[in-house]
Chain A
Amino acid sequence: MEETDQLLILRTCLIAGKIMMESGSEVYRVEDTIKRIAKNAGIEDIEAYVTATGVIIGSPTIKSSQIVQVTDQSINLEKVAAVNRGSRLFAEGEITLHELYLLLKKAENETPDFPFWWKLIASGFVSATLMIILDGVWFDFIQTFFIGMIGYGIRSIIKEKLHLNFLNDFLAAFVMGAAAILMVRAGMARDINHIIIGAVMPLVPGLAITNSFRDIFTGHLVSGMARGIEALFIAGSIGGGIAVAFNLFF
């Protein structure tokens, strides 16, 4: 095997790992994918060390190892599915290594994301429907819809423009709490508790919770703990925001 081929294999594995970790995959799947690609490409003794903040791969036979830092956490499960599909096609021999590399590059840059206003409307629906099935009253449906939408919008915009990680949840929760309290005071809504419970639902760190469980159960304790702490801190930020709103306005 020539040196350029070996480098291409390592680079393909590394890109696959980076895309999957950034988009919110669990560690087990990343290691599995990296090893599957490497073995099918001809490197038998690949070693992969994957954590929530970085991916290291190496191989003793070709005396080379590479590292990539995982910084930008953006939830996009479609990318995970795309990489998964690519590695399956490669394993079945339907595409070559070079085609897989191009496919991964394409998945990294061109995977469709939903437009921002779709996400806004979706977050409104999450808030309003969950408010109802968690025993809220129908009178508050529209109000919860808009409060949830505003909260999610604030959180996304702060995250995108200022790159603040937990403060965005704090501020979003604060605004939602304040809006709910003021609306009830003005007589425009009835049940503060259920409005707030429903409205914060789009902020729930569902991905961090699920992945933390799955990582710990498969023995990847480092990433599992990291994600568990992330989920706890997000929950704490939301709680803090609500608490401040209550202290100021209630």
Chain B
Amino acid sequence: MTILINMLFSFISTVTFSVLTNIPRRAFIASGITGMVGWMTFWFCKNSGISLGFANFLGAFMIGMMSIFFSRKMRMPVTIFNIPSLVPLVPGGPAYMALRQMIQGNVTSGLDNLIIVLITSGAIAIGFMITGLVETILRTLRQNIVRPRQ
């Protein structure tokens, strides 16, 4: 039941964030699936005891790969699927807790949460870096091998 709710709600939240960023309507379902896959990867990793940073990395990596897949299939820019799908992974919780602790004067525990924010966003960045690399490799392959220069 929890799994179903997580799948459904990550799908809905990605699709509705797509409305806010105004993506083409026919990309809604694809973007929702991308967001769902990214979040479920993160969620399963987190619940099976993998560290938070690595779970975020895997989530961002899956988002990047799914985005590349859909952008090839539907011939649209990759970012259309990237941007809404990323939103559930954004470390809003730790950032908020850092703020809350600092306000109450618990600077140390605030800094703890800030470090979690840094690690999480670093992990997401590395995930995107690797999918960016895959993208570049695919593009070079297509330009140089499939369609050689005259």
Point out residues on A near B: beta carbons under 8 Å.
Answer: 24-26, 29, 75-78, 80-81, 84-85, 88, 113-114, 118-119, 121-123, 125-126, 129-130, 132-134, 152, 193, 196-197, 200-202, 204, 206-207, 209-211, 213-214, 217-218, 235, 239, 242-243, 246-247
Point out residues on B near A: beta carbons under 8 Å.
Answer: 5-6, 9-10, 12-13, 16-17, 19-24, 27, 39, 43, 75-77, 79-80, 82-84, 86-88, 90, 92-93, 95-97, 99-100, 103, 121, 124-125, 128-129, 132
Whether B16 pairs with A80 at a CB distance below 8 angstroms is no
Which residues of chain A are near B129, meaning CB under 8 Å?
A: 213, 217
Given contacts A134-B93, A213-B128, A242-B96, contact A77 B20 (CB under 8 A): no
Given contacts A129-B12, A129-B13, A235-B95, contact A204 B24 (CB under 8 A): no
* B19 interface neighbour in A122, A235, A242, A246, Cβ under 8 Å: A122
Total cross-chain contacts (CB, 8 A) = 141
Which residues of chain A are near B22, meaning CB under 8 Å?
A: 75-78, 113-114
Which residues of chain A are near B99, meaning CB under 8 Å?
A: 239, 242-243
Other CB < 8 Å A-B pairs besides A126-B16, A197-B96, 6 of them? A75-B20, A76-B21, A133-B43, A206-B86, A214-B79, A243-B99
| Nearest-neighbor residue (CB-CB) of B23 within chain A | A77
* B128 interface neighbour in A119, A202, A217, Cβ under 8 Å: A217
A133 to B4, CA, bound (A): 11
